[in-house]
Structure formats: structure tokens, C-alpha cells
Amino acid sequence: MGLIAIGAAIAVLTGAGAGIGIGIATAKATESIARQPEAKGDIRTSLILGCALAEATAIYGFVIALLIIFILGSK
């Protein structure tokens, strides 16, 4: 059971990576808007798309962690 918990914890760490990535992307987008306010719409669109993809990665990691716990943990 111990190795299953470690595997699930590693799978959940994708959320930390996604959080860091979204934070960096938001900082860069804010800097870009400050430098070129007329490109605000294009920058925002790209930021939202990138954040959605990063968040999807975190959700996949969470789902994998749940699968590890409930499917492998029940054996």
C-alpha cells in the first residue's frame, strides 16, 4: 500500500507544475499588456488557451492519482 500512495502523490505533483506554469504565463502576459496595450485581446486569448491546457494537465494527473488509489489500492 505504501508504494501506491507514493505513486499517487507523484501523480498529483502535476498540479504544482501546472500552478507554476500558469503563474509564470500570467506574469509574462501582464508584462506584455503593459508594454503593448493595443495587443491586449490577442495576449488574453493566448493566455487563456495556455492556462486551459496547463490546467487540463493538472486534472489528468489528479485523475491518474485517483485511479492509482482506487484501482491498484483495492487489490
Q: What is the pLDDT along the chain (75 residues), one digit of tens a residue?
A: 788 889 888 988 888 989 999 999 999 999 999 999 999 999 999 999 999 999 999 999 999 999 998 998 877
- Cβ atoms within 10 Å, residue 65: 20
What predicted TM-score, i.e. pTM, was given to this entire model? Answer: 0.78
CATH code: domain of residue 54: 1.20.20.10
pLDDT of residue 64: 92
pLDDT of residue 15: 87
**Containing structural domain, residue 50:** 2-72
* Domains identified in the chain, total number: 1
> Are 28 and 3 within 8 A, CB to CB?
no
- Of 2, 5, 16, 3, nearest to 61 by C-alpha is 16
Helices in the chain by DSSP H: which ranges? 2-12, 14-35, 40-67
